[in-house]
């Protein structure tokens, strides 16, 4: 190993021992390390690293760089948790699950000081279960899903359906905001991060056992149905799917609606919600049927 790599190696060992599991690498640093690794004849450190290729110790693995400039490099997301709930009714089991999720050491290690792990909210009796991507900045501050701008829009959609947030269930694929250097903006969770959090979502789904799951946006669809790079949410939305034992309606994420607020896109999401209302046996008024037609 050459000098530059030894320095990096010692620093990584030190951080790993102090419990750090996520490292932010700029594109420049990545390019520099790649060059050094190539000079040293080492394998594995590459700006084009594919998921699964590993850097030699101490990182467990290096994820394929995702979008955004400060590249998050996952230092080994652990195996997904195995959840065990004590006997009890659904509400008490949901409370137990919430406590386990909020105290999950890995998730806690991923949130910054004063920020929170975010568990689902709503009714254990809900017939409709909305699933988003990951908490954003507002959500991780409050510890409640969908309370920021996209969340306020989701709340208006739920209200337009004649429901309240308390009557439905609202959760995310991720129980924490995927860490990044910057306070602003979000990055999509990696497949490994989603896989880690999935048992929490599945356990919430099992306990609520809704009639319909609404997957909000591409990441929610990927997290639930598995990543399919050929799938286009613009074609996929509005078409009933099956996820385990639940009917699943894929639709656009409310933040997509905030960025594309034309009537046509609003109507598409609204038609998906009308289909959901019908599927759960709600009465749809003529007024509701005509929303966003012009």
Instruction: Quote the least distance from Cβ 216 to ligand URA, whole Å.
Output: 6
Q: Is the dihedral of CA 272, 277, 278, 279 positive or negative?
A: positive
By beta-carbon proximity to ligand URA, the closer residue of 219 and 268 is: 219
Instruction: Quote the least distance from Cβ 98 to ligand URA, whole Å.
Output: 15
By beta-carbon proximity to ligand URA, the closer residue of 15 and 279 is: 279
Please, what's the b/e burial string for 195-224 (b: 16 or more CB within 10 A of its CB; e: otherwise)? ebbbbbbebbbebbebebbbbbbbbbbbbb
User: Which residues here bind ligand URA, judged by CB under 6 A?
Assistant: 126-128, 132-136, 139, 145-146, 148, 150-151, 163, 167-168, 172, 280, 282
Residue of closest CB approach to ligand URA: 132
Instruction: Quote the least distance from Cβ 183 to ligand URA, whole Å.
Output: 15
By beta-carbon proximity to ligand URA, the closer residue of 55 and 272 is: 272
By beta-carbon proximity to ligand URA, the closer residue of 34 and 141 is: 141
By beta-carbon proximity to ligand URA, the closer residue of 8 and 256 is: 256
Instruction: Quote the least distance from Cβ 49 to ligand URA, whole Å.
Output: 27
Instruction: Quote the least distance from Cβ 168 to ligand URA, whole Å.
Output: 4
By beta-carbon proximity to ligand URA, the closer residue of 151 and 250 is: 151
Whether the CB-CB separation of 160 and 119 falls below 8 Å is answered with no
Instruction: Quote the least distance from Cβ 249 to ligand URA, whole Å.
Output: 12
Instruction: Quote the least distance from Cβ 151 to ligand URA, whole Å.
Output: 5
């Amino acid at each position: 190993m050459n000098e530059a790599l030894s320095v990096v190696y010692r620093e990584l060992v030190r951080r790993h021992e102090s419990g750090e599991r996520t490292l932010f690498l700029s594109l420049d640093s990545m390019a520099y390390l790649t060059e050094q690794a190539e000079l040293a004849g080492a394998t594995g450190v590459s700006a084009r690293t594919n998921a699964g290729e590993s850097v030699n110790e101490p990182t467990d693995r290096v994820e394929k760089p995702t979008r955004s400039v400060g590249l998050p490099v996952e230092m080994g997301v652990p195996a997904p948790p195995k959840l065990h709930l004590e006997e009890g009714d659904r509400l008490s089991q949901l409370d137990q699950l919430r406590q386990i999720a909020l105290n999950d050491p890995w998730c806690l290690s991923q949130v910054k000081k004063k920020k929170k792990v975010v568990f689902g909210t709503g009714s254990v009796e809900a017939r409709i279960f909305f699933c988003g991507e990951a908490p954003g900045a507002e959500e991780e501050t409050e510890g409640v899903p969908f309370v920021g701008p996209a969340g306020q829009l989701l709340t208006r959609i739920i209200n337009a359906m004649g429901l309240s947030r308390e009557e439905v269930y609202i959760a995310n694929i991720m129980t924490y905001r995927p860490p990044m250097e910057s306070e602003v903006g979000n990055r999509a969770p990696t497949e490994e991060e989603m896989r880690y959090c999935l048992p929490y979502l599945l356990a919430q789904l099992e306990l609520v056992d809704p009639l319909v799951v609404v997957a909000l946006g591409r990441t929610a669809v990927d997290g639930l149905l598995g990543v399919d790079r050929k799938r286009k949410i613009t074609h996929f939305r509005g078409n009933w799917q099956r996820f385990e034992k639940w009917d699943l309606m894929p639709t656009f994420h409310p933040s997509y609606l905030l960025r594309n607020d034309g009537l046509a896109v609003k109507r598409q999401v609204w038609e998906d919600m009308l289909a959901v209302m019908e599927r759960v046996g709600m009465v749809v008024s003529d007024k509701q049927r005509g929303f966003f037609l012009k």
